Chains A and B, each alone.
Chain A
Amino acid sequence: MRVNVTVNGEQRQADDVWEGESLLFMLRERLGLPGSKNACEQGECGSCTVYLDNVPVCACLVAAGQAQDRSVRTVEGLAEGDQLDPVQEAFVEAGAVQCGFCTPGLVVQAHDLLDRVPNPSDPEIREALAGNLCRCTGYEKILDAVRLAASRR
């Protein structure tokens, strides 16, 4: 099957997509956008989080075909050229990135949180990020990063 989808503002087309293929597979393997990660491929880790029509979703749980004629924004679409988004900048500065495999999903999720709630409380941050696993940091510096980004936006 053929899928037409807007990704990071660009009209894209993927051919020979299998019925069972996920949006995540299509992004990573057919559209050359491996930034969204594949830590579980079963909706448990949040590493594949992308915006689908401005709502964060686990791309591994969305069939590629469901993205037809819709708009997807991935971690690769957050920065403006060389200028990182404040959330991205804060993650690097705060030491919230170790192996970084959780980072793309967390950055998208935190980006969405700060769009909705400009000055979130700690319990609000924890609730918003509860679906994103990180195995390296123990989350303290991820919280620091979100607080820092909130203070700058």
Chain B
Amino acid sequence: MTLTPAELTSAVSGGIGTSPQRPDGNLKVRGEFAYASDLWHEDMIWGATLRSPHPYARITSVDITEALKVPGVYAVLTADDVPGRNLYGLEHKDQPVLAVDVVRYQGEPIALVGADHPETALRAMKKIVVTYEVLEPVVDMETAVDDTPLHPGGNLVRHVPIRRGSQDVTAEVVVTGRYEVGMQDQAFLGPESGLAVPASDGSVDLYIATQWLHVDRDQIAAALGLPQEQVRLTLSGVGGAFGGREDLSMQVHACLLALHTGKPVKMVYNREESFYGHVHRHPAVLYYEHGADHTGKLVYVRTRMYLDGGAYASSTPAVVANAATLGVGPYEVDNVTVDAYGVYTNNPPCGAMRGFGAVQAGFAYESQMDKLAEALGMSPVDVRVRNAMTEGSVMPTGQVVDSAAPVAQLLKLVQDKPLPAGTSSDIRELPGGVSNTTHGEGVVRRVGYAVGIKNICFSEGYDDYSTARVRVSMVNGSLSAAVHTAACEVGQGLVTIMQQIVRTELGIERVTVLPMDTTIGNGGSTSASRQTYVTGGAVKAACALVRDKLAGRTDIGDEVIDETTEWRHRATEAIDPVTGQGNAHVQYGFAAHRAVVDVDVDLGLVRVVALDCAQDVGKALNPQAVVGQIQGGSAQGLGLAVMEEIQTSGGKVRNPSFTDYLIPTVLDMPPMSIDVLELADPHAPYGIRGVGEPPTISSTPAIVAAIRAATGLALTRVPVRPEHLTGT
């Protein structure tokens, strides 16, 4: 197997608005698509990572002598062997590549072993002797700021206040609540992995599964003390991401071992290590107060929210900003008070996961809207429609929403969908399934609704761009195009979209997607639902340059037209640090869900019977992929609603396996009927609106609303567990 991924060529019709097959589909179904964990190199050795068993401890000594003596071991490395800056991080450089003197979370890397077999590496790892002075961990996000400081600047990562309108206005109807969101894991199936190959000149090539090649490269180069051009990254097959690959995991470690031993080094986490090896969704505690008049019109929303960033900052500052700026949901509210706090603790580090701050706020504000509906005697849909934002509405930041915001329409679409047939008599379709816990007795069916809002692309003044290169030449007498970017395909189907854009722009059917790597400029992150928007925009712009040179010709002989360009979306602004006012976001995405849920109220077992969604995507460049994103996002929301949580106790993870951390199986997922609206955003390429994240936000509260309706319980925490329903 070669390390460089296959070029993906398809010669079919299929421009934008159609659903041609993925160019990597055949390789994937044949088992021939090379994921990062599949890579192999002559002479390669295996890397392993020694991690802290303690959430918080001082390291008093590290002794590697015995580990080095194990036959088959090539190297054992500690912080002393990091030649460059032993700190990295997406927003704050606060996380050591290998721990120095102190460990701040369970699972923090301390030492690395390179050996001839993964088992040798594990055995040698067990011979490293680390002595610790165990310290009392900080684990409560609400009191962390006043607790033992874990970093030089204290435990507050970021406070985002928003002050809009009156701060002391009163209202006829007031509902308050305290909500909790558990720590969710991205649980991508392809484990963290990569292969580092050292070159004779001291440089290194890394074949890696990641979400952002250039930001990885910059952090790796700094840690290795190498100029950026001596660290070359190529994207390998990525087995899902969902935010969990935005931060570094084994990237620097594999490169360190490779440069130290002069051998190619492969590292592959197993599932348990994967739970320790990447950041998770921030758990959160959110206090809300909603005031409305007797017609249901919101007068004010006040909220104070805490997001637990864990031991290192990762993307906490941006997550907190999202939770704050999107904190009232897709509603018009004139008077808003928000205080959102992201804090350090000794819990596992938290950062990006699909929905990124909007998920936590979404569960809380939608729960509040249901509570308000109940207090007013209105229906959940009516109270939402009464307050629904539209194009022209003003956000709590003062930003005017300047493209479609069809919130009421989305709610009505899901409300009008046909309901599933009554409770089944097939036990496989009842709560508890083949465990045969009920034949329908004790089962109550109810419906819940929710709607959510998500910012699309990077915010707060970030220079968010992508680079694309399009090359056209003659192949077998016809024009053929190749497209090259550094934008990461992680499963979402960007490779297909890029081919479609080239076909539409240039009228060329045969399009090759070249491997994604750092020989071209930055493609930006595969996150914030931004790649179709930004890299799609860059590919479209590069095509326009090529089209000028083609000048209508269908035969260009030996000529090669090769154009590279950068493309950026319109600028955003920082928000005011005191009032939170500013045009922080580029675009907003909206989705609404209706959940139909059967609850066995005696046993506390839940079965989601239907989970229908309506979403505006501006323009569906690939309708099949759009629906796939919405269904996949809805499934992750279902997971958060009823099963998924990394449980910690005293900072320690209690369930780092797929035996104990459950994600939805095909038995847990209901049929999902999806309505896609296409209301073009005039500011975006082809009018598109980012798709990946909005469905993850509204799915969770819709399901919980249905469970509440079935049980009459308040249910202020997700995931909802059977014991929450039975009180046992």
Contacts and interface: CB of A to CB of B under 8 A. Distances in A.
B189 A47 contact: yes
A138 B699 CA distance: 12
Contact of B659 (A32, A36, A44, A99): A44
A126 B434 CA distance: 12
A20 B119 contact: yes
Contacts, number: 185
A45 interface: yes
Contacts of A95: 19, 624-625, 627-628
A64 B253 CA distance: 30
At the interface, is chain A mostly helix, strand, loop or mixed?
loop
Contacts of A103: 28-29
A76 B666 contact: no
B671 interface: yes
Contacts of A55: none
Contacts of B628: 95, 98, 136-137, 141
B666 to A, nearest CB: 4
A34 B38 contact: yes
Given A37-B35, A103-B29, A98 B667 contact: no
A131 B667 CA distance: 9
Interface string A117-141: 0000001011101111111111111
Interface residue range, chain A: 35 or more
Contacts of B38: 28, 34
Nearest to B424: A123
A100 B237 CA distance: 9
B271 A41 contact: yes
A14 interface: no
Interface string B406-430: 0000000000000000000010110
B30 interface: yes
Nearest to A87: B29
A139 B669 contact: yes
Interface in B612-631: 624-625, 627-628, 631
A102 B31 CA distance: 10
B191 to A, nearest CB: 7
Contact of B189 (A39, A125, A138): A39
B26 to A, nearest CB: 6
Interface in A50-99: 74-76, 78-79, 84, 88-89, 91-93, 95, 97-99
A38 B627 CA distance: 27
Interface in A94-113: 95, 97-104, 107
Contacts of B588: none
A3 interface: no
A44 B657 contact: yes
Nearest to A101: B239
B573 interface: no
B24 interface: yes
B635 interface: yes
B1 A32 contact: yes
Contact of A35 (B26, B30, B493, B657): B30
B491 A136 contact: yes
B203 interface: no
B508 to A, nearest CB: 22
Contacts of A79: 30
Nearest to B28: A100
A99 B239 contact: yes
Given A35-B31, A135-B189, A136-B491, A127 B428 contact: yes
Q: Which of B19, B29, B188, B671 has the most CB of A within 10 A?
A: B29
A76 B30 contact: yes
Nearest to A78: B30
A123 B240 CA distance: 27
Contact of B672 (A28, A36, A74, A140): A140
Interface in B220-265: 237-242
A92 B21 contact: yes
Contacts of B187: 135
B242 A135 contact: yes
A101 B190 contact: yes
A42 interface: yes
Contacts of A131: 665
A99 B492 CA distance: 7
Contact of A98 (B270, B426, B434, B491): B491
Contact of A42 (B33, B271, B631, B669): B271
A143 B670 CA distance: 11
Interface in A14-44: 18, 20-21, 28-29, 32-42, 44
A79 B187 CA distance: 30
A142 interface: yes
B635 A138 contact: yes
B37 interface: yes
A104 B31 contact: yes
B28 A45 contact: no
Contacts of B24: 100
A40 B632 contact: no
Interface string B305-348: 00000000000000000000000000000000000000000000
Contact of B240 (A41, A74, A136): A136
Q: Which of B37, B189, B492, B627 has the most CB of A within 10 A?
A: B189
Contact of B30 (A45, A88, A102): A88
Interface in B106-132: 117, 119
A136 B632 contact: yes
A131 B26 CA distance: 23
Contacts of B149: none
Contacts of B667: 126-127, 130
B663 interface: yes
A127 B426 CA distance: 13
A128 to B, nearest CB: 9
Contacts of A97: 22, 25, 28-29
Nearest to A107: B29
A84 B30 contact: yes
B305 to A, nearest CB: 27
A127 B434 CA distance: 9
Contacts of B117: 18
B32 interface: yes
B451 to A, nearest CB: 19
A20 B30 CA distance: 28
B279 interface: no
Contacts of A39: 189-191, 239, 271
Contacts of A44: 271, 657-659
Interface in B424-482: 426, 428-429, 434
Q: Which of B240, B490, B492, B672 has the most CB of A within 10 A?
A: B240
A136 B692 CA distance: 11
A34 B658 CA distance: 21
Nearest to A16: B117
Nearest to B659: A44
14 contacts: A32-B1, A35-B32, A38-B268, A84-B30, A88-B30, A89-B29, A99-B239, A100-B33, A101-B491, A123-B429, A136-B632, A137-B632, A138-B635, A142-B666
Given A18-B119, A136-B491, A139-B669, 15 more contacts: A32-B1, A34-B34, A34-B40, A38-B191, A45-B658, A76-B31, A79-B30, A95-B19, A95-B627, A123-B428, A126-B666, A133-B663, A136-B240, A138-B631, A139-B666
Closest 4 interchain pairs by CB? Answer: A35-B31, A99-B491, A101-B239, A100-B28
Interface of B: 1, 19, 21-22, 24-26, 28-35, 37-38, 40, 117, 119, 186-191, 237-242, 268, 270-271, 426, 428-429, 434, 490-493, 624-625, 627-628, 631-636, 657-659, 663-667, 669, 671-672
